[in-house]
A = this chain, B = another copy of it.
C-alpha cells in the first residue's frame, strides 16, 4: 500500500513529491472555498506552481479530485460491512449508509454534479466512485432484498446515481433539503 511501491522505475524526484503534496493541499483548500470547478490557475497559484506542473501531476481535473477525496470515499466503502453487522436490519444499515454517502456529497460543492455528468474529463472520477462504492451499496441492497424489506427491482448503480443527483446544488438553496428527499427515495424502496 506504500506510495513508493510503483512497479518498475525509480522513485520520483524530491521536488516532484513536494509539488504533488502542495497541489493536493492547495486543491483541498480551494475545493472547499470555490468548489471543485475552481479555475485550474487558482489551484496552481495557491500551490505555488506553474500550469505545466499541475497538468503533469494530475492530467485531468478528475484525477485531482479523486486524489483529494480518495480516503473519504474508501472510508465510506469500508463502512458498509460494519453497518450491516451492527444494524438491527439490512434496511436500517442501508438507511445509515446512505446518510454517510449523502453527508460526504453535500459537503463537496459541485462534486455530485461532476459525478452525474458524462463529460469525458470526469471519466476517472466516475470510475473511482463506481468501482469503490457500488459493490458496498450492492451488498447492503442485496441483504435488504433477501430480508424482504425492499423491492428487488433497483440496482446499486441506479440508486446511487439517484442519490447523487438529489444532492446536486443541495448547498445552494435553503429551501431544499437533500437529506429529506433522499429519505423519501429510500422510503420508496420499502415493500
Contact = CB atoms under 8 A, between A and B. Distances in A.
B113 A172 contact: no
Q: Can you tell how many copies of this chain the complex includes?
A: 2
Contact of A158 (B155, B176, B186, B188): B176
Contact of A185 (B158, B177, B184): B184
A113 B57 CA distance: 31
A161 B180 CA distance: 12
B165 A169 contact: yes
Interface in A1-51: none
Question: Which range holds the interface residue count of chain A?
Answer: 20 to 34
B162 A184 contact: yes
Contacts of A161: 173, 175-176, 181
Contact of A172 (B118, B162, B168): B118
A184 B187 CA distance: 8
Nearest to A163: B181
A161 to B, nearest CB: 5
A162 B179 CA distance: 11
Given A184-B162, A184-B185, A185-B185, A116 B157 contact: no
Pairs A-B, 9 closest by C-beta atoms: A188-B188, A184-B188, A187-B188, A162-B181, A118-B172, A116-B169, A161-B176, A165-B165, A185-B185
